[in-house]
Chains A and B, each alone.
Chain A
Amino acid sequence: MIHTDYHWEIREREGLLVVRLAGEIDHHNAVRLRGDVDELLLGKRPRRLVLDLSRVDFMDSAGVGFLMGRYRLMQELGGVLAVKSPTPRVEKMLRLCGMERFMEIETDRKETER
């Protein structure tokens, strides 16, 4: 069996959906993660999707591709995507790829959710 090294938890509140991802987001895991997250999105249709990355300990450019894909889907659904609490390493990847131009990056320096 091919194992998939991520798991998640959700919280929701009028139009807000927070998904906390954990594990490694690479090309291998992104394939299934994308299917799972999109199913959730199309079912719940939140106005704001927050992906909590605090427990994601590895992310490469495939993870960036995954975030851009969800950004586009949220746009199609008339909502917005934000990411929350990336570790410094994951944040380095997000900034290198210019993700702050497409989505709000909430760092722990200003805790707004919950």
Chain B
Amino acid sequence: MKRTKQEAINFAVFRLPALSVNEGVARAAVAAFCAQMAPTATELSDIKCAVSEAVTNCVVHAYRERAGHFTVTVLLFPDRRVRIAVRDRGCGIPDVKKAREPLFTTDAAGERSGMGFTVMESFMDKLTVRSVPGRGTLVVMEKQFGGGAKRT
């Protein structure tokens, strides 16, 4: 079956310094932007969690002690779908498959649960992660509002 590529009906781009205070800023900004799609409270809270995970990874892992930025792009599609991309230009992930496993963390000393990617995967419908060591990481997540097929 041919799936025609849809154009976004609205989009937003947020670029923020990788400071921990911006974790809350980023998830609130994305939630405010998604509100125009009239999501349910549960859909909105799932999105906030997923964005918080992706952004926290930029703050904690991508730049470590160094300064840097991350960019969050939100695209809204006419079939009530949202796509969120979180991009950093940090250290990258050498083995993405391994990093996505539940409980995997490279920061055991920091009280991490290693569940960030698992949360993104369970709370969204689709997750893709692209990363180049030394160049950065791109996390793209999608969610269908209102009765979309959900894999749990």
Residues of A within 8 A of B (CB): 2-3, 5, 24, 26-28, 30-31, 34, 58, 60-62, 64-66, 68-69, 89, 93, 96-97
Contact = CB atoms under 8 A, between A and B. Distances in A.
A62 B56 contact: yes
Interface string B37-68: 00000100100110011001001100000000
A3 B21 CA distance: 8
A93 to B, nearest CB: 7
Given A61-B113, A65-B111, A69-B111, A28 B122 contact: no
B24 A26 contact: yes
A97 B21 CA distance: 24
Contacts, number: 62
B129 interface: no
24 contacts: A3-B21, A24-B24, A26-B24, A26-B52, A26-B56, A27-B20, A27-B56, A31-B20, A34-B111, A58-B52, A60-B49, A60-B52, A60-B53, A60-B116, A60-B119, A61-B56, A61-B112, A62-B112, A64-B115, A65-B111, A65-B112, A89-B42, A96-B119, A97-B118
- Which of under 10, 10 to 19, 20 to 34, or 35 or more describes the interface residues of B? 20 to 34
A57 B42 CA distance: 12
A21 to B, nearest CB: 16
Residue of A31, A58, A62, A89 with most partner-chain B CB within 10 A: A62
Residue of B23, B27, B42 with most partner-chain A CB within 10 A: B23
A60 B48 CA distance: 9
A18 B56 CA distance: 29
A89 B119 CA distance: 13
Contacts of B42: 89
Interface string B1-39: 000000000000000000011011001000000000000
Contacts of B112: 61-62, 65
Contact of A5 (B24, B118, B119): B24
A17 B146 CA distance: 42
Nearest to B120: A61
Contacts of B52: 26, 58, 60
A96 B48 CA distance: 16
Nearest to B114: A61
A65 B113 contact: yes
A31 B59 CA distance: 13
B111 A96 contact: no
B5 to A, nearest CB: 32
